[in-house]
Structure 1
C-alpha cells in the first residue's frame, strides 16, 4: 500500500502570502520589482542562510536579516537593519495568520477518509516549524508522531538521512512511498536519493535543473495535485 509524505512550506500552504504582505508594507513604495521573483529569491537565500547557521558560519540572530538583505539587493536596494527587522516583525505577524487552502484541505480530508498513511517532513527549526504546524492545524490530519522537522530529526533535506529517519520511524517501504514537495533541489533530489516516488508540486513554475533526474509526476496547480493524490489513494484502496 502506498504511503504519502508531504513537504510543508509552500506545499501545504502558500508560503508567499506573509512575504507579500510584509513586502507591501516595508518595501512596496521603494521598488517596482516583481514580488513573486523577490519571494523566490528569498527562498534561495533562506536556504543559504539556514545552512550557514547550521554550519556555524552565521549567527542565528543574523539569519533573517541576511535573507532579506540579499533578496532586496537583487532589486537594487540596500536595506538597513531597521528595515529588515521591521520586515521580520511584519512577516512573523502574518505567519500567525496562515491558512490551508481549500483544495489542499480537501486533499488531506480525502487521505484521511481513505485511511492513507500520511506524514510531513519539513526543514527548519522545531520552534518555527512547530508554530506553523499549530497555526495551520496540521494535527487534524497528521498524528504528532508522523510530523518530522529536520531540527529534531538531525538531518536536513536533501540529505538522504532525513528521509531515512522518516522511513525508519514509520516503517516505510521506499518502493511504496511517495513524497510531495515544491523544491526540486531539496525535495525531488532528496526523495530520489532515498528511492522514493516523487510528485513535484511545481506551482511556482520553476525549471528543473539541466540533466536532473525527473520526478514521477509534475503538477502545477493544487487542483492537479488533488487529482494525482485522488488517483494514488484509489490505487491504494483497490
Structure 2
C-alpha cells in the first residue's frame, strides 16, 4: 500500500492515533483518585474507551451536547473503573471527567506523525482527519496539537458536525463524495477496532489499524486490514521508506 500519486486520500483519526490519549487519562486518575504508580492504567483506559463507544452506540451516535453527553462521559468512568476495584459515585466520576477534559488540551503528537503527514502531502496525496465527538471539543484538540496548521478545515470531518458517527459507513461515503474519490482510493488510519477498522472496511476503504497498544480485535479478526504499531512502521507501509 504505497501511496505515491494524487489519486489517493489518507485520513487519520485523532484520539490515541495522532497523540497519546492515555496521558490525560492517567493524569486525571492520579489527580482525583490518587491511584499511584501501580494502578493498571492501560487496561483501565481500554475499558473506558470500550464503554465510551458502547454508550455512544446506545445513544444513537456520539452526543454533542447536553445531559446525554454528560451522562455518557461520567458513566463510562463508573463502569470502567468499577472493573478495577474503584467504586465511584456520580459526583466522583464527574470530578474524574472534569480533570480528564482539562488535560486533553495539553497534548503532543506522536513522534513521526507530522513528518508522515508532510511526506504524504508532498507526494500529492489528500490528507485529512475523521474523528468522533462534539465539534468544539475536537477542534480544541486539533488546534492544541497544531494539526490545523497542516490540514485545512475542509478536510477535517467531525461526527458531531457531519451528523454521522464512526463506524457508520455513511460518514465515509459522504467524504468520498465530497472528494470525488472511489473507496479504493481512500485509506483510513485509526486505533479503534470498532470505529476505525470496522467502519473503514465496511465502506470499502483501505483500513490501517494503529494498534500501538497491542490489543485484540473486538470482532472478526479476518476483516481486511493492515496492522501497524508505530509511525515508523506506518511510513514504511505507506511510503515504502523510513521517515
TM-score between both structures, scaled by the size of structure 2: 0.87
Deviation at residue 28 of structure 1 after TM alignment: 3.4
CA distance in 1, matches of 2:58, 2:113: 32
Counterparts of 1:23-172 in structure 2, within 5 Å, are: 23-29=29-35, 32-54=38-60, 59-172=68-181
Q: Cα distance, 1:125 vs. partner?
A: 1.2
**Alignment correspondent of 2:205:** 196
Match of 1:16 in 2: 22
Kindly state the Cα deviation for residue 79 of structure 1 after the two structures are TM-superposed: 0.9
* CA displacement, residues 75-113 of structure 1 (integer Å, 9 cap, x when unaligned): 122112332222122212211211112311211121223
SS state of the match for residue 166, structure 2? coil
Is the 8 Å Cα contact of residues 176 and 182 (structure 2) preserved in structure 1? yes
Q: 2:197, 2:225 within 8 Å by CA — same for their partners in 1? A: no
Q: 1:144 to 1:56 in 2, by over 3 A?
A: closer
CA distance in 1, matches of 2:17, 2:111: 13
Alpha-carbon distance in 2 for matches of 1:130, 1:177: 23
Gaps in structure 2 of 5+ consecutive residues: 1-6
CA distance in structure 2 between the aligned counterparts of 1:209 and 1:87, rounded to whole angstroms? 26
SS of corresponding position for 2:240 = helix
Shift of 1:39: 0.4
CA distance in 2, matches of 1:166, 1:130: 18
Against the structure 1 CA distance between its residues 50 and 56, is the aligned structure 2 distance closer, same or farther, given a 3 Å change threshold?
Answer: closer
CA-CA distance at 1:115 after TM superposition: 2.6
Whether contact under 8 Å (2:61, 2:165) holds in the other structure is no
> Quick one: structure 1 residues 56 and 123, their matched pair in 2 at CA, closer, same or farther if it must change by over 3 Å?
closer
Post-superposition CA distance 1:119-173 (Å, at most 9, x none): 1111111121121112112122211001001111111111110101111111111
- Return the alpha-carbon distance in structure 2 between the equivalents of residues 100 and 55 of structure 1: 27
Aligned length: 233
Q: Is the 8 A contact 2:130 2:158 kept in 1?
A: yes
Q: Is the 8 A contact 1:42 1:71 kept in 2?
A: yes
1:55 Cα offset (Å): 6.6
Q: TM-score, normalised by structure 1?
A: 0.89
Question: SS at the partner of 2:112?
Answer: helix
Structure holding more helix per residue = 1
Q: What's the secondary structure of 1:71's corresponding residue?
A: helix
- RMSD between aligned alpha carbons? 2.4
